[in-house]
Chains A and B, each alone.
Chain A
Amino acid sequence: MNDPALRPAGVHDERVAARLGVALGVAFTVCFLTGLYSHLAQHPSLGFQLPARPVGLYRVTQGVHVATGIACIPLLFAKLWTVYPQLFQWPPFHGLAHAIERIMIFPLVAGSIFMLFTGLANIHLWYPWRFNFPDTHFRTAWIVMGALVVHIGAKVTVTRRALRRTPADPVAPEVVADRRAFLATAFGASALITVFSVGETFGPLTRLALLAPRRPDTGTQGFPVNGTAKETGVLSLAQSPDYRLRVEGNVRTPLSFSVDELRALPQHSAELPITCVEGWSVSRRWTGVPVRDLLRRAGAPPHARVRVESLQPYGSYTVSFLDSDQAHDADTLLALLVNGELLALDHGYPVRLIAPDRPGVLQTKWIGKVIVL
């Protein structure tokens, strides 16, 4: 086995590790920043105000978040394979700096595997654990990013050397070819699973979304549903003949409407995306009553924030908030129709919130109250 021709070599070389490392570093940073945006968007108590424009901003950031995470899976496995022999190096440390560097690799590797596994499982609604996914995924991201920063600092010299030393490479052409083939394999696998999954958010590739857990063209009324009316326990309340939508709180005149009275109000239509935090998204034409029209009728203050409450008796997303910017945007609707059809129960009949640049879990369904703050 000493014949180099019998032994494809060079895969464990620092040049391979550096290239995969740079790609993963960039990809993880993208995931972290887009994840942070999503976290801030979903936690109004942190004081971040979601902009209403551009309309598809959250659609892009969250689509990129999930697609990049999926694309990282082969890159991470390839990178771990490249550096695998170092796991068994002896002695394990030579000096304090090396010991610290190696110890910090554990949270980086374990955290990276954890993040990609939990992210992939979550988009498939697979929860083999007992912890809360958003909380844990978000906080572990900080651990991974911190460990990544330490790793980048420790590896800066080696990485720069590895990325520069290509033209006068002293090794055999077969070794160089083997490295290239390995990198092509890692990046090729990454591209392949992206092509076969990104169609859950990127329209032109919908038909190729064979590895995605959702299809933007499949579901009630032709697009996906996150929580159904049945599982959120809202079936009878949403169909009750006594249904009223109430507008109250910091208003001059509290209002109350039946479904027919809402339909009799001036209607507005807007093409807006619905974007799930789990990565799928789709654009639809929604028709309903602009929230700002209701606020005006009720005599709400000009820059009021709004709390929207669902009829659903349980579930994690029964309430959402509209910041001033979103509450007063012309396209923020209490939607009654989608693509000209009455909303299906699973999509929030009789009335759902639909606003620009907003996570789907905050596009509250089966609205019972609009409370002006």
Chain B
Amino acid sequence: MNDRAPESVEDLGPNRVGLVVGLMLGVPLMTVGVLGLWQHMDATPPANYLRFFIGGDLLHDFLVAPVAALVGVVIIRRAPALVRGPLRAALFTSAIVIAVAWPGLRGYGRARAPDNISVQPLNYATAVLTVLAVVWVVTAVWVTVEVLRSRR
């Protein structure tokens, strides 16, 4: 992960015609959504909705992304050059696998429907470790190939 600015191509700014056309088409679509939420306020309580709508974005911008940057500085950049790409791939993919499996790992669905044996039926800790093993074995092969290639 890095903090390098975009390449020195000139900043074109928004395409003005495209932006106007986009607004003409996009704002009505957004209005359908906002009005729908407004009209069904009993099913979509605004305060709770906004907490999740805005909260997810804030969580990403001020926690997830900074942690990713920190991992980049502390772990990836300190690794040998050949390993950096594979290491970044393995860490990113591992984080994604854990995020996707998180509700299973925590057993939220099973707790909600304890009589339903078909909800989250697996041992997700084992399942996640299995997938992570695949990720890191592939990464090890990738690193080996890179090392062998560099020695030629």
Contacts and interface: CB of A to CB of B under 8 A. Distances in A.
Interface stretch (A129-137, A258-266, A355-363): A129-137
The DSSP consensus for interface residues of chain B is: helix
Q: Chain A: interface secondary structure? A: helix
A70 B100 CA distance: 8
A157 to B, nearest CB: 4
B131 A210 contact: yes
Given A125-B119, A148-B26, A211-B127, A97 B103 contact: no
Interface residues of B, number: 85
A224 B15 contact: no
Contacts of A210: 122, 127-128, 130-131
A98 B84 CA distance: 35
B113 A231 contact: yes
B6 to A, nearest CB: 5
Interface string A107-122: 1011101100110110
A237 to B, nearest CB: 17
Interface string A130-149: 11100110111111111111
A94 B12 CA distance: 11
Which of A73, A84, A177 is most buried by chain B, counting CB atoms within 10 A of its CB?
A84
Interface string B71-114: 00000110001001100110011001101110110101100110
A53 B41 CA distance: 36
B71 to A, nearest CB: 11
A372 to B, nearest CB: 31
Contacts of A250: none
Given A85-B5, A107-B30, A142-B29, A154 B18 contact: yes
B73 to A, nearest CB: 10
A154 B2 contact: no
Contacts of B53: 110-111, 114, 140
Given A85-B5, A146-B26, A210-B128, 20 more contacts: A7-B4, A12-B5, A81-B1, A84-B61, A94-B13, A97-B19, A100-B23, A104-B26, A113-B57, A118-B52, A125-B120, A129-B48, A129-B51, A132-B44, A152-B18, A189-B93, A213-B119, A228-B115, A230-B115, A231-B116
* 7 closest A-B pairs by CB: A153-B22, A219-B118, A142-B33, A146-B30, A146-B29, A124-B103, A149-B26
26 contacts: A8-B88, A9-B2, A12-B2, A12-B3, A13-B6, A78-B92, A95-B13, A104-B23, A107-B30, A110-B53, A111-B53, A114-B53, A130-B48, A146-B26, A146-B32, A150-B22, A150-B25, A153-B19, A153-B26, A154-B14, A157-B15, A211-B101, A214-B118, A215-B118, A215-B122, A218-B117
